Structures are given as structure tokens and as C-alpha cells.
A and B are shown apart, each in its own frame.
Chain A
Amino acid sequence: MATHVKTTINNEAVEFLCEPHESLSSVLRERLHLTGTKEGCTTGDCGACSVMLDDRLVCSCLVLGVETEGMSIDTVEGVAKADKLHPIQEKLLEHAALQCGICTPGIVVSAKALLEKKADPTEEEVRFWLAGNLCRCTGYDKIIRAVLDAASVLREEA
């Protein structure tokens, strides 16, 4: 039986109907058409579906839509402000840190969560934090450099 769920998504009140078995990633993409969140493995291994749930980084494929009643969800769609990209997005472009792009929204959400928690991470900390975001194209080095570069931009802005 479809359940009525009330949430806040990217700071806006959003209500939706979903079946109990539907994952949050599926609700975001198919019911709310927020297709920035990608579905890769649906088993919590690849991180393409990363979102923030009540300010905690999670794989949205491992969250049921019905669980999110009363919770706040932040997706990649909320990262850029108006027509201005977030420094992480800018730096991913600048470092050519994406090829097919499927992993990129998850990387953006995940890296942003790291930099909000830790403004000056070491390369090793970035690599460990992003271990749950698989990229099969880039070999990671460019992604790691872009995140470290974005961290320094954000520190200068702060």
C-alpha cells in the first residue's frame, strides 16, 4: 500500500507517495525526477546514490523511501547555488576529474560532506572518505586532487 511521506528535500518541503519496498534512490529518481542521484549497484557498494539524510552521508539505495518521514534530504541538485557551481564541482571540471560522469554526483555529495566536517583533510583522509565512491574511469587521482584543491578554495573563502 502506498504510503504518504513528508520530507524536506534541498530545503524545500516535499511530499510523495511510495511503496514500502521502494528505496530512497528510486523515489528520488522515478517519483520526484531528481535524476542527479545515480543508481549504480543498489547494494551500497558504489556510492553513486550518495545523499545527505539528516546531515549524515548515506547511500540512498540502502534507505527506504518510507523511512524518511520527517527527515531532511540533501541531494546533488542542491549543491550549486543558482547558476554558480560549488567549488567542488568547479574543481572536478578544472581537473578533468570525470569521464562518463555516473559517479560524479555521488563524489560531489560525499566530498562536500567531508569538507564540511574537515576543512583541511590530508590526501589519505580524502582517499579513505571516498573509498565508498567507485569510479571506473578516472583512476581517482584527478578526483582526489580536485577535492584537495576545492578544500583550499573553501578555506580561503571562509
Chain B
Amino acid sequence: MDSLQYFAPTTLQEAVQLLETNSGCRIMAGGTDLIVQMHIGTASPPAIVDIKKIPELNKLQLSDSDLLLGPAVSGASITEQADIAAIYPGLVEAIDLIGSTQVQGRCSVGGNLCNASPAADTVPSLIVNNAVCEIHGASGVREVAAESFNLGPGKNCLSEGEILSLIRLPKPVPGSADAYLRFIPRTEMDIAVVGAAVSVTIGGDGVCSAARVAIGAVAPTALLVPEAAKALVGTDLNDQALENAGAAASQAASPISDKRGTAEYRIKVVGVLTRRAAAIAKQRALQN
């Protein structure tokens, strides 16, 4: 580790060039995963490219059409903005659940996504909000939907030399809202045993016209569950519809058993959380 090189580029172009010329280097946003991995010895990159000094990667811009979320923006700088929480309450809830106050001051949504933990709190919320990830590389720019960004535990879709440059969340149509719930055995400072995010759109007639359901920590990556959404769309989100969505989420889950919970337990809990998150999203949507 003594030979570690540290780069702090100030433009995206410079960052891409550094990634190209430094094979095996790691991109660092808040560092709350990478620096821990370096401390405990599971990562020993030859070089780090710190992206926090790149103004365009620190963009945080809410407009009439979308939220532009730079991958280097800290969790705390998002959660303290009431206008963002009003539109994406579930996403902000998820960000607020990451680590401690101290960790929130550094961690980023982009890093949470790229770290590719199956239990990452923000990923199900990005998925239900139709987030699109913009990726820059030497050969240009491409876009990937949040649900396709991660490929497995610790593995994302970035090729060597590529960098996540922006997360774009379209603004929900009126009558929409999201919610995120996670289960942990304590109230703070833990990693999701199960997570569930739901977004719904309710029309003037009280019928759910669109829904998305995504679950975390119950498969190798966070999963979009179209069957759970189908159970909600076309209903007035009555108890039976919510129950059906929960059952679909349990059906889609393929968790492992580990120290945080058994597979059987996670399958049951993901159904409960999906049902409850859908109920919260419904209440919020009715007020929007």
C-alpha cells in the first residue's frame, strides 16, 4: 500500500484519461467502502482516482423534469434538502439509513450503487424511481437503467476505464410517491437483512395506474419485481392487492442464509416489507 498513488482530477475528461492509463486503479467518491476495504486488506489498488474535486460529478439539481444526482454528492447534502425529500421521500429515507451521521457526511449514492452490495439501501429506491445511470468511458457515453447496473455481489457493469458520471431520476407524475423500508435487528448502524422499495401512481379515480417494486438483500443484486407491480396496477391498492404484491416479492426472492438471517426468514420478511412499503407509498401518493 506504500506505493499507492492518489489522483484528484478536476474534470471528467481528466478522470477518464487517468482510468485509462492506470490499470487496476479504483474510483473513490466518499471512500466509506473503499477506504475500509483498504484498511482490512480486501482491496489494494495501485492508484485511487478521487472524483470529489470534479464539479460536474458534484451536481445536485432538481428541475421540473428530473433530479440530476452527481455520483460524488454526499448523502448528507441530499438528505438536508427538503425539496428533494418531498418528491423522492423513499430515496431520501434510504440514503438516511446508510451508516452513521459521520458516514452520511461522506458516502454517496453513486458509490452505494457502484459498490454493488446486494444489501445497498439506495439501489431498490433508485430502481423504483426509474433512475438512469450515465457512464463515461474512452469510447463515449452510454446509459444503463439502475436495475441493470449491478451484475452480482461486488460486481457492476462498468468496464475498466469507465466511470459513472450521473444518475438521472425522472420527476414522478402527479399522484405518485415512493417508500423504502429495510429490516435490521437494531435501529441504526447496520446492514439490511432485507430491503423493499415501492413506487406507485394513483389516478383521480383512486386506481393505481403504475407501480414499481424492487427488493434488496434477497438476491445477488437488488431486483426489480414486475410481478409485484402487476399485483398493484389496476387496483385501488386495497389490502388484498398489497398482500398479493408481497407474495410476488417473496416469490421473486432467492436469498442466501448468512449471519444476518436465513433464506427462509428473508423470503418471509421481504413480503411483509413490500406490503408495508406499498401501504406507505399509497398514503403519500394520495396526498400528491
Contacts and interface: CB of A to CB of B under 8 A. Distances in A.
B189 A132 contact: yes
Interface in B39-59: 39-40, 48, 50, 52
Interface residues of B, number: 29
A59 B102 contact: yes
B39 A43 contact: yes
Contacts of B50: 64, 67
B31 A131 contact: no
24 contacts: A3-B6, A21-B38, A42-B39, A43-B36, A43-B40, A44-B32, A44-B35, A44-B102, A44-B103, A45-B189, A47-B102, A50-B102, A56-B74, A58-B102, A61-B35, A62-B30, A63-B31, A113-B101, A129-B101, A130-B101, A131-B100, A132-B102, A132-B189, A133-B100
Contacts of B52: 67
Contacts of A132: 99-103, 188-189
Contacts of A23: 35, 39
Range for the number of chain A residues in contact with chain B = 20 to 34
A26 to B, nearest CB: 11
A131 B6 contact: no
A32 B179 CA distance: 46
Contacts of A50: 102
B106 interface: yes
A117 to B, nearest CB: 9
Interface string A107-142: 000100110000000000000111111000000000
A128 B4 CA distance: 36
Contacts of B189: 45, 131-132
Contacts of A94: none
Contact of B35 (A56, A64, A113, A114): A64
Contacts of B32: 44, 62
